[in-house]
Amino acid sequence: MDAKPWTDRVRDEEELLEQLNQLASESAARRAQALREGVEQTGSIAEAARVLGRSWNAVYNALKKDEGKKAPGFQPDATTTE
């Protein structure tokens, strides 16, 4: 029985990690969308977090991280001087 060369095994695992990272990224984006809907329905990040049994900070950070991916330089709490 011939074992697969280690270089091939490393390449296979790197491909698998790339696929898993892509799936995790897509899942995080869908989760953030659901969280945005929850915030809209409940009226606040804190209330959505309470319903989920999470800290408001966890919900806020998930939303902030997702927004950062969509619009580089975007800050959800930025105020304008207009």
Which pair of structure tokens corresponds to residue 32? Answer: 């953030």
Angle at which helix 6-42 crosses helix 56-70, to 10 degrees, equals: 110
The structure tokens listed for 24 are 């995790």
55-72 tens-digit pLDDT: 999 999 999 999 987 765
Cα distances (angstroms) measured from residue 2 to each of 5, 6, 37, 57: 9, 12, 53, 52
Domain locations in the chain as residue ranges:
12-70
Mean pLDDT of 20-35: 97
pLDDT at 1 over 80: no
Is 51 within 8 Å of 38 (Cβ atoms)? yes
